[in-house]
Amino acid sequence: MIKGVLGALVPLLAALAAFAFGAMMLVTLGASPLAGLDAMLDGAFGSGSRIAATAVKATPLILVGAGITIAFRTSVINIGGEGQIIAGALLSTVVALSFPNLPAFILVPLVLLSGAVGGGILGAVPGALKAYASVNEILSTIMLNLVMVQFMNFLLRGPLIDPFELEAGTRIPQTQRLSDNATLPTLLDGTRLHIGVPVAICAAVGAYLILWRTPTGFRLRAVGYSPEAARAAGISVKRNITLAMTLSGSLGGIAGAILVFGSEGQRMVTDGSAAGFTGSAGFNGIVAALFGGLHPLWTIPSAMLFGALLTGATQLQRVLQVPAALAVALNGIIVIFVISSTPVRGWLQRSLADSGLFNRSSDTAGMD
Amino acid sequence: MDTMGSDENILEMRGITKVFPGVVANDNVDLDVRYGEVHSLLGENGAGKSTLVKILFGLCQPDEGSIHLRGEPIAVESPAEAIASRIGMIHQHFMLVPTLTVAENVALGTQSTRRPFTDLDVVSRRVSEISEKHGLAVDPSVEVRRLAVGERQRVEIIKALYRDAELLVLDEPTAVLTPGEVDDLFVILRRMANDGRGLIFISHKLREVLTLSDRITVLRNGKVVGTTAPAETSREELAQMMVGRAVRLTPDKPLMDASAAQLKVEGLTIRGDRETVAVDDISFEVRSGEILGVAGVSGNGQRELAEAIAGLRAVEPGGSIRIAGVDVTGDDTRSRRDRGLGFIPEERMRDGAIAEFTVSENLVLVDHGAAEFTSRGMLDFGSIREHSQKLVDDFAVKTPGIDTPTSSLSGGNIQKVILARELSASPTVLLACQPTRGVDIGAAEYIHTRLIQQRSLGTATILISEDLDEVMGLADRIAVMYEGEIVAIVPSEEATRDRIGLLMAGVVEAPDQSSV
């Protein structure tokens, strides 16, 4: 019981500690921390359209985060979110370019599905390499991130470049404007709240159902906890590792499609870097998943928090005239506090147990 | 075995009581150890043996009671004080630094005669003297990591003797040893007792305790059940004292008519982890309603054989494994299980169950995808819970509930969970590896009964065990493995301990000899 309380309490305390740290930074910059908090809350939740913007920012984080929980629960460390987002975005863009005249009710699901396929392929490759050739998935996914950025740059500068850019000679690396039929429909007029938000939430719920309600998820978790016991029980460790990476990648790929077809520009653009397109959602999604305790449903509020940080930072910059980079710093500080809270939690549990206030089973273990 | 002990006590522990939250680990325990005596402490896991010697060694403090050493009352506050009082302890898990030499390990924590410089040459010389005097052959200049388990244990004993221990505590010292090493250890221990030292020997193995001890004190639930001597007691009586009720050490086996071969292994050659041949061209079959015991000293190919039968290890071309007449040599574990294979792995916590999973999840670890446990693609928790509850009741698994994490169960109960899972699938062929290793007598008895029941139901069982009593008690035929080969398959009615023991050591019989 005490474990459960600590489990929820410690990440919250870590977040509070991180905000306290952020307040100190505001003070050193000569701004009032209370005014800063006010500006951030106002920026993130101050109006309907701002809440919508926060939700839209959180969407790729929810998707990547839900994918991360599937991979991590199977004990596969997927660091390839960036590459998987890009792969999903590219494939869905190609599909939208190829079939611009399909009606929206077909094209929108089709581009989302293509995103899932693209991301899934990019997840399956390192998954299969790990399962069948013992290639470390951390290395291979990071490498594939780099490969995918260059592949995106190549495609957007060459085969997929907007023909108008060639004619005009400006050669901005972007696709032509994509079919309106592929645009994600907005749910509320006057806001940017598009259908991608409920899609992401459904995907997170789906990830939860897969992991804890289906035989497939049972096998994934069994492999994650103990590949040896899973194998002896007749569960294929190789197949399930590949599957976990495929599912994880496909959720990232959907995020990629949403980034393209939920954007105001309605085209895919590169500034040469991965973050320029993904907004680092491939990495921040990992943070959101960890902050949500590797539970797909907790990943939703966790991703909202990080989305709020991103939208709030803009307002913070506008009102207090402090650099927007402060939000990035705050983001990083939360990561550090949350991640270091795991050992703190263990230490707290042990010292509470040693104090004899709580009667835990470890007190009596090993004393036969 | 004659008793050299005088009647004078080196140690008297009186009325020792130690309460941990929720558990009385020691309840008014008395223990006397005489000079020159091997005094065994016998009891199930959790009976309070380790707590008692931890108190003696200063690792924890008693709530009540007194300790007299050589007639003087003492209060041991720490292991350092215990060592200063010439109490030595050989822990179950060795306390050695693998990268240091034997002499360096012995010198650790002692005062050099040439401070601030070391005196390892002096230490080495004394280590050599001690090892010669007590028959503890160990080279003081060798790094500990290069030593075999039995040798490491000798280093621990030398450490204690170097510190001039007069009262020596050995906590389950045989758990990690091969039968040969156990024999060597007993010679050494007897010699140390004959020198006038007092030895406390902790074990739950009845045969060892009866062989080695002068006196035996049995603990149960923290209380002393009684103190006896090997001449006055028997395995059955000791088991009864430990468990608190009559225990059948060898279960009754109904006669079965040998029928169809359900497991057939032919020309099987298997490579081990280091690519060396671990199992060399063996063939055997197990019939319906039969238990084939596989005896042998650990590391003679039994593990590789089990993994090959389970589909976890590839076999060399030419060999074949048939389950119920179907060649499964190239099949994976899943399809072998679908053919009727049940598998109780040797490493219970690594291969048998998932510690983080609940009891219920482990009970359906194999069959979670079966139609009875799913509906419309989702797990059907209603039927899974019902099935789990039934198995927990049927197999008398002691657990607070089916949603309890498996890691919080005792070893015997985890083994019952695995047994329940494997037997509930009504296996045609059951591969049981070390099914009762490290579990309490009560649980072991239960597991044996269940294996016999399964035999009556017609399952072909292959029982791989290092416990010779278990193999001899359960098996209809005993295959003895030595260096990757089956040196003989002996019908149980012709098997004697001596004969099997010789075969295990690789002494092959002349063809005509029926017994040794």
Interchain proximity A361–B408, CB inside 8 Å: yes
Residue of B nearest to A210 (CA): B378
Predicted confidence at residue B265, as pLDDT, reads: 95
Confidence of residue B411 (pLDDT cuts 50, 70, 90): confident
Confidence of residue B255 (pLDDT cuts 50, 70, 90): confident
Q: With 70 as the cut, is the pLDDT of residue A297 above it?
A: yes
Residue of A nearest to B48 (CA): A368
Q: What is the mean pLDDT of residues B459-482?
A: 92
Render pLDDT for A316-327 as a digit per residue (tens, 0 to 9): 888 888 877 777
Residues of A in contact with B369 (CB under 8 A): 215, 218-219
For residue B376, the tally of other CB atoms under 10 A from its CB is 5
Domains of chain B (ranges; CATH) run 9-243 (3.40.50.300), 261-504 (3.40.50.300)
What does the mean pLDDT of chain B come to? 89
Q: What is the mean pLDDT of residues B240-267?
A: 82
Instruction: Please state which of the ranges A330-339, B52-61, B201-210, B476-485 shows the lowest mean pLDDT.
Output: A330-339
Q: With 70 as the cut, is the pLDDT of residue A34 above it?
A: yes
The pair of three-digit structure tokens given for residue B466, joined into one six-digit string: 């290092």
Q: What is the mean pLDDT of residues B12-20?
A: 92
Interchain proximity B379–A213, CB inside 8 Å: yes
Predicted confidence at residue B382, as pLDDT, reads: 94
Confidence of residue A368 (pLDDT cuts 50, 70, 90): very low
Residues of A in contact with B378 (CB under 8 A): 209, 213-214
Render pLDDT for A155-182 as a digit per residue (tens, 0 to 9): 999 888 888 888 888 888 999 888 888 8
Taking the Cβ of residue B314 and every Cβ of chain A, the question of whether any pair is shorter than 8 Å is answered with no
Q: Please, what is the angle between helix A281-291 and helix A48-73, to 10°?
A: 80
Taking only Cα atoms into account, the Rg of chain B, rounded to an integer number of angstroms, comes to 25
Interchain proximity B21–A209, CB inside 8 Å: no
Interchain proximity A233–B22, CB inside 8 Å: no
Closest CA to A171 of A184, A185, A160, A179: A160
Alpha-carbon distance values, B487 to B165, B280, B290, B296, B300 (Å): 44, 11, 20, 10, 11
Predicted confidence at residue B39, as pLDDT, reads: 95
Residue of A nearest to B352 (CA): A229
Q: With 50 as the cut, is the pLDDT of residue B175 above it?
A: yes
Alpha-carbon distance values, B353 to A328, A365, B1 (Å): 44, 19, 43
Instruction: Please state which of the ranges A333-347, B140-154, B192-206, B467-481 shows the lowest mean pLDDT.
Output: A333-347
Q: How far apart are CA A97 and CA A148, in angstroms?
A: 20
For residue B496, the tally of other CB atoms under 10 A from its CB is 12
Predicted confidence at residue A350, as pLDDT, reads: 64
The pair of three-digit structure tokens given for residue A112, joined into one six-digit string: 């989302």
Helix (H) or strand (E) holding B492: none
Predicted confidence at residue A32, as pLDDT, reads: 85
Q: What is the mean pLDDT of residues B311-328?
A: 94
Looking at mean pLDDT, say which of A7-11, A21-25, A117-121, B53-57 comes out highest: A117-121
Residues of A in contact with B336 (CB under 8 A): 234
Predicted confidence at residue B193, as pLDDT, reads: 92
Predicted confidence at residue B418, as pLDDT, reads: 97
Interchain proximity B365–A222, CB inside 8 Å: yes
Confidence of residue B254 (pLDDT cuts 50, 70, 90): confident
% of chain A exceeding 70 in pLDDT: 89
Bridge pairing between strands B374-375 and B64-69: unpaired
Predicted confidence at residue A366, as pLDDT, reads: 33
Instruction: Please state which of the ranges A222-226, A347-351, B36-40, B277-281 shows the lowest mean pLDDT.
Output: A347-351
* Contact present, B15 and B52 (Cβ < 8 Å): no
Alpha carbon B183 to its chain centroid, in Å, reads 16
% of chain A exceeding 90 in pLDDT: 52
Q: With 90 as the cut, is the pLDDT of residue B132 above it?
A: no
Q: With 80 as the cut, is the pLDDT of residue A347 above it?
A: no
Q: With 70 as the cut, is the pLDDT of residue A353 above it?
A: no
Q: How far apart are CA A109 and CA B374, in angstroms?
A: 29
Predicted confidence at residue B498, as pLDDT, reads: 83
Class of residue B231 by CB neighbours under 10 A (exposed 0-12, middle 13-18, buried 19+): exposed
Interchain proximity A364–B23, CB inside 8 Å: yes
Taking the Cβ of residue B353 and every Cβ of chain A, the question of whether any pair is shorter than 8 Å is answered with yes
Predicted confidence at residue B507, as pLDDT, reads: 80
Interface test with B, best of A226, A240, A294, A360 (most B CBs within 10 A): A226
Residues of B in contact with A225 (CB under 8 A): 354-357
Q: What is the mean pLDDT of residues A345-356?
A: 60
Q: With 90 as the cut, is the pLDDT of residue B363 above it?
A: yes
Please say whether the dihedral angle defined by the alpha carbons of residues B50, B56, B58 and B60, taken in this order, is positive or negative: positive
Residues of A in contact with B333 (CB under 8 A): 231-234
Render pLDDT for B265-309 as a digit per residue (tens, 0 to 9): 999 999 988 888 999 999 999 999 999 999 988 788 999 999 999
Looking at mean pLDDT, say which of A17-21, A124-128, B464-468 comes out highest: A124-128
Confidence of residue A344 (pLDDT cuts 50, 70, 90): low
Q: What is the mean pLDDT of residues A233-261?
A: 96
More confident residue, A111 or A191: A111
Instruction: Compute the count of residue pairs across chains A and B with CB atoms less than 8 Å apart.
Output: 94
Predicted confidence at residue B13, as pLDDT, reads: 94
* Contact present, B28 and B2 (Cβ < 8 Å): no
Q: How far apart are CA B377 and CA A214, in angstroms?
A: 7
Q: What is the mean pLDDT of residues B99-118?
A: 86
Fold of A48-298: ABC transporter involved in vitamin B12 uptake, BtuC (1.10.3470)
More confident residue, A33 or A234: A234
Predicted confidence at residue A361, as pLDDT, reads: 37
Confidence of residue B249 (pLDDT cuts 50, 70, 90): confident
**Type of residue found at B168:** L
Instruction: Please state which of the ranges A137-141, A318-322, B259-263 shows the lowest mean pLDDT.
Output: A318-322
Residues of A in contact with B409 (CB under 8 A): none
Which of A215, A229, A364 faces B352 most closely, judged by CB atoms? A229
Q: How far apart are CA B269 and CA B274, in angstroms?
A: 14
Q: With 70 as the cut, is the pLDDT of residue A360 above it?
A: no
Confidence of residue B468 (pLDDT cuts 50, 70, 90): confident
Which of B49, B50, B354 faces A229 most closely, judged by CB atoms? B354
Residues of B in contact with A209 (CB under 8 A): 378
Interchain proximity A236–B350, CB inside 8 Å: no
- Nearest chain B CA: its distance from A117 CA (Å): 22
Residues of A in contact with B25 (CB under 8 A): 364, 367
Alpha carbon B347 to its chain centroid, in Å, reads 12
Q: With 70 as the cut, is the pLDDT of residue A298 above it?
A: yes
Closest CA to B16 of B53, B59, B70: B53
Residues of B in contact with A356 (CB under 8 A): 21
